[in-house]
Each structure stands twice: as C-alpha cells, then as structure tokens.
Chain A
C-alpha cells in the first residue's frame, strides 16, 4: 500500500513537472510564431532605426540602473551590516520597502511631487520657481528603478560582508593596512560575486519592468511592446522586440548564475562574528546617506499618498468599492500563491532526487524570470483565444498566467529551504526504511516550513503588485488595486490613487517585516 502510494505520487509529480514545463515554454513558442510570420517583416523593423532606438534605450536604462544600484547598494549594505550605525535594522527595513512596492506606484508619486508644475514646484513658487526641469524620461525611470532594485544588491552583500573572516581583517590591520585599504583589498574582493549577482538582478528587473518606464514616458522595450499591443493591429513587431528582450535577459542570467555559484564557494562558515567597525566622524555622513535613501524611497511616496488620501475626490472620478477591490486583489494573490507553492514542492523534490529532471527543471525556472509580464500576457491571450476560447477572460487562465510568471519565486525559495535542512536527517530516515514521500512529508516539509512560507509571501506580493497581466487578462469587471491605480493615473485623477496606494504600501511593509524575521 505504502509503496503504491509512493509510486503514484512520484508519477504525478513527474506529470506536474511536464505540465509546468510546457506552460513555461508557451510564451517562447508564441514569440517564435509571431516572429516568423511573414506578413509584416518584423525582422526588418528590428534592424530599422526605430527598432534599434528601442533596444538602445532599454540597454541605456539598464546600465544606468545597474550603476545606481551599485552606488547605493554597496555603502548601504556596509552601513547596515558592519558598522555601528544606530538603528541599523530600522534603516535596513525602511531601505527595503521600495523593493516590494510597485514601481508604477513610486513613479506616480514622483511625477506628482517633482513634475514641472507639481507639488514641490508649488511649494517653491513663492521663491520664483515657475517650472521644475522635467522628471520624465531616462532620469525619472532610472531614479525610480534604482530605488526599487538596489535592495537586490544589499541583501546578498550584507550576508557576504558578515561572512568575511575577521582574522583576515585583523591580519591586514596588523600588517599596517589602513581602514580604507582593509575595506578595498580584504573585505570587498570576496564579496564581488554577491555584488555582481545583485547588480545583474537589478539590471534584469529594469529590463522587464513595465510600470516605471510607462509612467515616466520612456519608450523602452516593455513600454513599446505594450503600446504596440494596445495601438496596433500588427502584433508581430512587439513579439520580435520581446524575443530580443528575452535573449538579453538570458545572457545576463547566465552570468548571474555563475556569480551566484561562486558566492556559495566563498562562504567560510567561520563561527566568529564579524567585527563591527566604528564610524566615528563618518557617522553623520552615513546617517545622511541612509536618510536620503529612505527619504526618497519611503517618505516621498508616503507624503504624496497621504496628500492624495486627504484630497477630496473629483466628481468625475468613478465610484468604486475599496473593499471589493482589496478582496479581489488579496483573493487572486492568495490563490496563485497557494497554487504556486503547491506546484513548487513536487518539482523541487523531483529536482533533488534526479539530476536529469534537475537540469531540465532548473533551466525552466529561469524562463519565468526572463519573461516580462507583458509577454506572458500576450502569449496567454494568443493561445487562449485560439485554443481555449471558452476559458478566455476567465479566472483559470488569469491564474495560470500568474503562476507561469512567478513560479520561479516559489521554486527558488523552496530549493533554498530544503537546502537548509541537515542532510543527515534525510539519510537517517531513509536508512530506517521510510519511503520518499514520507521523508518529504514528515521531515523536510516541517523543517523547511518557514522558508517555503517566505516564498509564498514573496509570490503573494509579486502578484499583488503586478500590472500588465492584471490589465490584459483580468475577467471583465474584475478589478484589482493595480488596475485602479493605473486607470486613475491615466485619467490624471490622482486623488483616487491614495487609498489603493497606501494599502499596497502597507501590505508590502508588513511582508518585509515578516521576511526579515525569517532571516
């Protein structure tokens, strides 16, 4: 009986793996189909001046964001992990908030605050300031994306800083190295892989992000793909651009994976705590730096949101029920998070048991990272209208699109969580005659629970703040917080953004607290 159950579960997990794999490939198939459609010579567009402009704009934005994430991330990680900065964990938590806040939300608050005739200009008008320089375009997009992605550098780098062997630092100091030299030549070099991995993730994120570029009116890949989807009968150009985007992301991911592997090899596992560095007269500049980051990432958006909340709604604003909106958003996020986590567990178990599946599934999980939400949305619309018309614009398709997009999050979190479990426990269980699934159910899952839960929370958050899939695939009449914010922005009814925006920020901040406590 037990053996039978074990084989049933094994086979079903393989079936799940196959199904997930096919789903993950679907967007790539879609892109390939569009690209080879002879009708509109999409390759010609790609190589035209227009096409090359779009590509270069995206690359420029990516490089700017990577630079910004580096410039902000390294000092911030250092100050909050290895120095005696007061209230380090508070600064850290606040600095991480933009990472879980939707980029379009931060973008909207920035254009309201810093637009040519926006809030700040209004304050400065008595001083004779008629207009502020425009915040739109590359500068605005890079600023918003940097704030939202520098935490990708901070998180792994903090861990790396704290794992550098103190003895090396002491030895260097003994040999006469000054503080700066110790930092640059002893502490920083082993952390390069962490920095590289974080910076590349920031770059990948900025390539695939939809909200910031849209709000800042910067025509990069995702913005152009969306504009072409909504304002053109020719869907092929967008697909070809998306293919280029996917290829660039793939190349970046390869580099990032290499860097990530090197991080694992460098950790020393030394039980000694890392030394705390005294800041002395650097304390004030460090505090100023952290305040600036937190000011830009948290205070500015909050001030604007509260301002909107307290502004009387213009009468042309549509009446909506905030409770319905919130329930819709939470409902969808919860269902997809549960489904995603449930799918990830058998996949990860399979990956650990068999190296053949491991390779195949591991690569598949990258695909989700590579595909911007807009591409997943387009692919699902394409296949649903052609092959599943009864399900088009219904919940099952909506949920499948989210799972396709964010499954890598749960796979990654579950893998990490399983990796934390002492392998001896697994071995003992097997040697005592337990079958595969018993080991998973009674030993692995309970021990990996908090890691898996963190993954589910991240998945929940990702769905909550996602925009393009919510715009394209939501069943008619089913509105989420992101849809409402986007509509309000388009119609310049900013007062309507206050409540949904604050709700999103509140949930994001709570989840940061939750995730940090797992650390």
Chain B
C-alpha cells in the first residue's frame, strides 16, 4: 500500500473512532435524569438522595455548590437551566429565586405537610428541616457566663479576635438578611463592620469554623445548631458547646433547609415527587437522626438532648421576607466582609 493510501486510511480510521466516541458521549444524555442543584453539603444529603432513587427508580444527578453561586448560576442560565430542583440549606436562597419568579407553585397537599411559618407565603417553596442559629464555643477558652445575650453584642471589645465566621456561607447570609429585615440596613451594616473591626476570623465554610473552635483556634463560631451533634458523633469528648442567644434576639433565628421546583424544569412531576419524598416520614426521620436537624412534619421526634422546636424562641420574622440575597451581598461587600 502506498504511503499516501496508508495515511488516508489511518486518518479515516481515527476520524471514525473519534466520531463514534463522541456519539457515545452524546448518547449518554439520551435518558434525562432529574437534575438537582444542591447548596446543601454532599455528605449530608447524598445518602437520602440515593435512597430516593432506590425507592422510586427515578435517576438523579446532583450538582453541589455554594448557595449564592448557584442562585446566580440559575439566574444566569435562565430558561435553559438544566436544573429541575433547587435544594438549599437556607430559605433565603429560594426566596431570591421566588423574587425573580423562577419557581413554580407546589401542590397544596405538599405545602400543608409543614407548619405555615416554614413555607413560602406564595407556595413557591417548602421547608424540609429546621435549623437554629447558635454560637458554638470552646468552654476551655471562654466561660458560658461570658457569652453575650445578643448576637449584636459580639462586636464588644472583650470578644476581640475570638469569633470565627464564614461569610460565604448561605445561612450566614440569611442571618444578615434577617438583621436587615428586623432592624434595618444601618444596624446590619454597623454590625458587620463592627465584627470586622473586632478582628473576626474568616473561614471558607461552617465546618471549618467548627473545626477551628474544637481545635481551640478560635473561641466562638457563628454556625447552625447541628454541627455540635455531628462533631460529637465522631468524638464525644470534644471541647465544644452550643450557646443559644436570648429569646427573640435576631441571633436566635430559626431557618429551614428548603426546596423548590424551577420554572425551567422539563420534569416538574418528577421534581415535585422528589420534594414529596423529602417530606415523607422516612426522609424526615433521616434528617432528625442522621443530620440532627428539626423534622417539620408532625409525628417525627427530634433526637435527645436537642431543645424541642416549640421551646425555641426565634425572632418574629417571616422567612418569606428573607428574599433580598442580592442586597445582603452588596451590603456585606460594602462593609468589607466579602470582596
């Protein structure tokens, strides 16, 4: 065979090979799985999502990411967004999408499974599990009596350099939004600036904050209640306790992990089926016993040692009103907590 013929033959073979491979790759998308964008951590929700697939046979693909990033992503993707469900660890993320009219209403039957205060006023999202904001602290570094009654008191001189936070964390941004709604933008901005001036330490995520408290790197961390249980399950002897701010203080916020169906979804029934599954007794028991959160449907017990949901005294704020994530981020940028 002449050299040229060999060359042509080889090129044809390579091209056919490439074509077949690319067809193979494209063919993967033939059967569309349900696409979930989850701002919740993979280690917390992957097991229950897998169980959903096992029980219902519906294949699922999950994209994990930062809350604000995924909200921005969904908004930028627009109608072409591949996401069907948005599952967040804070209602403010869904509020932001509701504000931009990107969510479709859920069925009444679904909504009525949880108390009114834990779902959207317009039926656009529903709470899945409850979480209380706390200040986790290391008792060897600070005594319980020295802890402040109010979140706003942490800007006091005596807490200089002792507090850690994660400003990129969704629920933290939700907390700041709550301060804005309850006490106004001025107070919120002053608090953020005060914390920065008081040498607050920045971490990339809540778990890093808690690890630092446990290690003794910082004395106090602003996180959610269940991290203590999570870390204790690993090692019962850690030096850490949860401090709840006083009744109705803005720092005593109770928020919810929540889910909604996107208007860009081409599988709204399967999407709603997923949310229904999350509100089933099975899944709610999972959230109570494996992630140490507050189940929201009736009839499921919280784990021992956790202050019951009814005994928490959160500030009176409508979770649906925490929808201006963009404004909160702009405020945090101006104050210098975010670049």
Interface on A for B, CB 8 Å cutoff? Answer: 1-2, 5, 50, 54, 115-117, 131, 214, 217, 219, 223-224, 227-235, 314-319, 381, 385, 389, 392-396, 441, 476-477, 487, 489-493
Contacts and interface: CB of A to CB of B under 8 A. Distances in A.
Most A CB contacts (10 A, CB to CB) among B22, B64, B210 go to B64
Interface in B23-79: 25, 29, 35, 41-44, 46, 61-66, 68-69, 71-72, 75-78
A1 B7 CA distance: 13
A229 B82 CA distance: 20
User: Interface size bucket, B side?
Assistant: 35 or more
Contact of B339 (A5, A54, A314, A492): A54
A484 to B, nearest CB: 10
B321 interface: no
A232 B208 contact: no
A116 B217 contact: yes
Interface string B185-208: 000000000000000001011011
A9 to B, nearest CB: 10
A317 B329 contact: no
Shortest Cβ-Cβ A-B pairs, 8 listed: A389-B80, A230-B69, A492-B211, A318-B43, A224-B339, A476-B63, A117-B215, A492-B208
Nearest to B29: A394
B77 A385 contact: yes
A5 B3 CA distance: 12
Contacts of B233: 315-316
B41 A491 contact: yes
A230 B70 CA distance: 8
Given A227-B168, A392-B80, A491-B207, A117 B329 contact: no
Interface of B: 4, 7-8, 22, 25, 29, 35, 41-44, 46, 61-66, 68-69, 71-72, 75-78, 80, 82, 167-168, 202, 204-205, 207-208, 210-212, 215-217, 230, 233-234, 325-326, 329-330, 333, 336, 338-339
A266 B167 CA distance: 53
Contact of A316 (B22, B43, B76): B43
Contacts of A394: 29
B217 A232 contact: no
Nearest to A5: B4
A58 to B, nearest CB: 12
DSSP class of B's interface residues: helix, strand, loop or mixed?
A: helix
A505 B149 CA distance: 49
A147 to B, nearest CB: 22
A315 B292 CA distance: 14
A316 B80 contact: no
Contacts of B217: 115-117, 131
Given A217-B202, A385-B80, A230 B230 contact: no
Nearest to B100: A233
Given A1-B4, A224-B339, A318-B46, 11 more contacts: A50-B336, A232-B338, A233-B68, A233-B329, A316-B230, A318-B42, A318-B43, A385-B76, A491-B41, A491-B43, A492-B207
Contact of A477 (B63, B212, B325): B63
B205 A491 contact: yes
Nearest to A315: B234
A491 B75 contact: no
Nearest to B173: A231
Contacts of B208: 490-492
A441 B46 CA distance: 51
21 contacts: A115-B217, A117-B212, A117-B216, A227-B339, A230-B72, A231-B68, A231-B167, A232-B68, A232-B72, A232-B329, A234-B330, A316-B230, A316-B234, A319-B46, A392-B77, A476-B62, A476-B63, A487-B64, A490-B207, A491-B208, A492-B211
B168 A492 contact: no
A116 B141 CA distance: 15
Contacts of A217: 202, 204
A50 B77 contact: no
Given A1-B4, A316-B234, A477 B62 contact: yes
Contacts of A230: 65-66, 68-69, 72, 168
Contacts of A116: 217
Contacts of B167: 231
A236 to B, nearest CB: 13
Contacts of B43: 316-318, 491, 493
A479 to B, nearest CB: 10
Nearest to B209: A492
Contact of A233 (B4, B72, B230, B234): B72
Contacts of B66: 230-231
A389 B77 CA distance: 8
Contacts of A389: 77, 80
Nearest to B60: A477
B61 A477 contact: yes
